Structure 1
Amino acid sequence: MRVQVEVSTRAREIPWRDVLRPGRGIVYDLLAEFAPELGERLHAQGVGRFGLAPFGHSAPRFPDVAPRRGKYVAGGAGVVEFCSPLPEVVEALAAGLGRTRVLDWGGVALQKQSVHAIAPPAFADGQGVLRAVTPVLVKGPRRRDAQGMPLRGQRWILPGEPEWEVYFLRNLRRKAEALDLDSDVELDGILRAGPRQSYAVGQGAKIGAEVDVALSGNPETLRALWSWGLGAATSAGFGAVAA
């Protein structure tokens, strides 16, 4: 499930450091006001044995603005989405966003025009294509030095690298397990792999690529993945899936 917010702005661009960063704070602010116990629990422990944060969001998108090299363009009508596989999270976000007039997106004022709840596709045949509209992050195995000791820093891997499909699929299955859903989900193919993209949302850069993937599995599991997002750090805006 997701909440789609139609917005408008007079700003001509969003600084790269703020393309994704503000969304996580907006989610927790809304949960703190409209579902405080839920927000505290998710912030403290997440869901499942890996403590995953069960929500995601997109970057603001402005389809009528021509791209400019080196800029994340904005202006006029746009849309930003917040999503979660947990109905109680979506209900709280919808309540809060329904009362919000302006989203402060890293200093860029996004004027709310309307709010819509969107249900996931049925995926009745157990198959579906999920298209990411922000980079998908996939954590690879740690690099090691000559003595076999792990090096500091996270290793992000990209589509086409040997380990990518294995670790991407592992992430999907962990999400399903965290929600007590059937984790027998399969990656049937990568239909599109975008270029390498790097965003800084905290300490250090996170590196990924947008992908379109064909998946098969239990329909309820596919609906949950559509609602949650693909790959790691969905709460920071990575791996958001197109409606």
Structure 2
Amino acid sequence: MYSLLDRKVPQLGAEIHAGGLKPHGMVPFGYSAPVFPRAERRRGVYALGGPGVWELASPVPELVEAFASALAEIPVLAWGATAFFVDEVRILEAPSFSSGQAAFCTSTPVVLKGAGVGASGVRETRQDWLLPGEPGWDLAFERNLQRKAETMGLDPDVTLERVTWIGPKRSFAVAGSTGAGGSKPGACVKVEVRADPEILQALWSWGLGQSNSAGFGWVDA
């Protein structure tokens, strides 16, 4: 993602990489896993092969334009050790959400951290991972949505109405900034959210929960 920005808006990409956007230091983009509808399905193996789709998005128009322009100039996209031939680039419009309500479903797990505060009221850990259905998850999730609205300069009147489905827990190994490994646990969810339509459009483009810039919390529908 950052290499795409470096081709078109290097200064903006560097600023976001260094500290995110104010006031919360959030990185305003996300992406899906590549999906290959015609690939043969085998248990325990990622379906890969043939024509596929990779989605990426941002609530910041300048970033969307930069991603689209950079991808249009790249014949081959390197995804780890796999080469994707770029056949077409499309820009999609966000739904209107004119009712002020949205039902979001994620195709990648939503990850969230709690405050890490113990019974004494003192913070005891920075790795207080929360899973959907656990105490404190709803509040942390709603606050994350509100911080995203504040980051976009919008009224943070965002409400999580209810969680209608929780997928199985999954944990992903990730590399830290210092090189030390770790894991991020989470689960896919379906949620109903109420907010101003502009906020719902931003969330649809950004993703739900934390670590969207690492591919978590991608809104699939």
Q: Distance in 2 between matches of 1:97 and 1:89?
A: 12
Write the mapping of 1:1-243 to structure 2, written as runs, cut at 5 A. Answer: 27-142=1-116, 144=118, 150-151=124-125, 154-202=127-175, 203-242=181-220
Taking every aligned residue pair, what percent have the same amino acid on both sides? 47
Q: Report the 3-state secondary structure (helix = DSSP H, G, I; strand = E; otherwise coil) of the residue aligned with 2:52.
A: strand
1:212 Cα deviation from its structure 2 partner: 1.3
Q: Report the 3-state secondary structure (helix = DSSP H, G, I; strand = E; otherwise coil) of the residue aligned with 2:164.
A: strand
Q: TM-score, normalised by structure 2?
A: 0.91
Alpha-carbon RMSD across the aligned residues, in angstroms, is: 1.8
Q: Distance in 1 between matches of 2:16 and 2:123?
A: 33
Q: Report the 3-state secondary structure (helix = DSSP H, G, I; strand = E; otherwise coil) of the residue aligned with 1:41.
A: helix
Mapped contact 1:142–1:150 kept (Cα < 8 A): yes
Q: Distance in 1 between matches of 2:182 and 2:124?
A: 18
Q: Distance in 1 between matches of 2:122 and 2:24?
A: 26
Mapped contact 1:62–1:75 kept (Cα < 8 A): yes
Do the aligned partners of residues 200 and 42 (structure 1) sit closer, same or farther apart at CA in structure 2, a change above 3 Å counting? same
1:64 Cα deviation from its structure 2 partner: 2.9
Mapped contact 2:116–2:123 kept (Cα < 8 A): no
Match of 1:22 in 2: none
Q: TM-score, normalised by structure 1?
A: 0.83
Query: Which blocks of at least 5 consecutive residues in structure 2 are unaligned?
Result: 176-180
Higher strand share: 1
Equivalent position amino acid for 1:239 in 2: G
The number of aligned residues is 216
Q: Distance in 1 between matches of 2:27 and 2:123?
A: 29
1:143 Cα deviation from its structure 2 partner: 6.0
1:66 Cα deviation from its structure 2 partner: 4.6
Q: Distance in 2 between matches of 1:167 and 1:67?
A: 36
Query: Which blocks of at least 5 consecutive residues in structure 1 are unaligned?
Result: 1-26
Equivalent position amino acid for 2:131 in 1: L
Q: Distance in 2 between matches of 1:40 and 1:143?
A: 33
Do the aligned partners of residues 173 and 109 (structure 1) sit closer, same or farther apart at CA in structure 2, a change above 3 Å counting? same
1:169 Cα deviation from its structure 2 partner: 0.5
